[in-house]
Amino acid sequence: MLAAMQVLEVIVQVVLFDLVSPITFVPAIAVGWFAGSRGQRIGGIVLLVAVKIGLSFLEPLPEDAMRAWEALPLLAVAPAAWAFATAALRDWLRNERASDPASPRLRRARAAVGAVIGAPLGAILGGVLGMIAVDVFRISSFEGGAGYFVAFLFFLPGLAIGGILGAVLAARRGVPRA
């Protein structure tokens, strides 16, 4: 009974880690958005899983460890969830746009997608600018001073500004001008 609980715990951890891993969700979202049919989405998911398996061979295993080949189907759960959810969102947005391009539901959905895309982009841009500022102003790394400088003065504001700008720009996109 204990072994079964440990296996279940490992399965949940693997799937949850895969769901939040950018190596998984970025290409899976691209597959879901650009694949035209269900077969193309499944083919893209299989390709993503094959690439992940191939990349796993680049990392050495710890001593006395072996690959769990029976767990390979778990690698397809997260990409499939992202790809099919993205395809459903794409189809819903297309149907909403066809019915009424200025509908409030469509604007809210665009704003949410814009915020989700804009926030990380703003955070990345803020972090890069912060690292450049650390070099230009020669801020010491003593006790994490440079890290706090970048995080609080560039990264977090970039995250907020990127999210707000992404939401506003995406919500206004496609709305007819009066």
Token look-up 């500004």 returns 161
Q: Are residues 23 and 72 in the same domain?
A: yes
Question: Are 129 and 172 within 8 A, CB to CB?
Answer: no
Instruction: Tokens for 149, please give them.
Output: 């400088």
38 within domain boundaries: yes
Domain boundary among 72, 90, 108: 90
Instruction: Tokens for 24, please give them.
Output: 């998984």
Residues in the chain: 178
Which tens digit of pLDDT belongs to each residue from 25-36?
Answer: 889 989 998 998
Q: Which residues span the domain enclosing 143?
A: 100-178
CA distances in angstroms from 5 to 11, 66, 70, 74, listed in the order given: 10, 20, 17, 17
* Residue 98 clears pLDDT 70, i.e. is over it: no
Q: Are residues 84 and 117 in the same domain?
A: no
With cut-offs at 50, 70 and 90, classify the pLDDT of residue 178.
low
Q: Are residues 71 and 126 in the same domain?
A: no
Q: Are residues 67 and 119 in the same domain?
A: no
Neighbours of 171 (CB within 10 A): 20
Domain boundary among 31, 59, 90: 90
Which tens digit of pLDDT belongs to each residue from 111-122?
Answer: 888 898 899 999
Which tens digit of pLDDT belongs to each residue from 138-168?
Answer: 888 888 889 899 999 999 999 999 999 999 9
72 within domain boundaries: yes
Q: Are residues 111 and 145 in the same domain?
A: yes
10 within domain boundaries: yes
| The pLDDT of residue 64 | 84
Q: Are residues 81 and 126 in the same domain?
A: no
76 within domain boundaries: yes
159 alpha carbon, distance to own chain's centre: 15
95 within domain boundaries: no
| The pLDDT of residue 176 | 57
170 within domain boundaries: yes
Task: Give the number of domains in the chain.
Answer: 2
Domain boundary among 25, 56, 90: 90
Q: Are residues 53 and 127 in the same domain?
A: no
For residue 108, give the H/E element and its range: helix 104-137
Q: Are residues 33 and 104 in the same domain?
A: no
Residues 6+ apart with CB under 8 A from 25: 19, 78, 79, 82
Which tens digit of pLDDT belongs to each residue from 30-79?
Answer: 999 899 899 999 999 999 999 988 888 888 888 887 877 777 888 899 99
Average pLDDT, the chain: 85
Q: Are residues 151 and 107 in the same domain?
A: yes
Return the SS3 of 129: helix
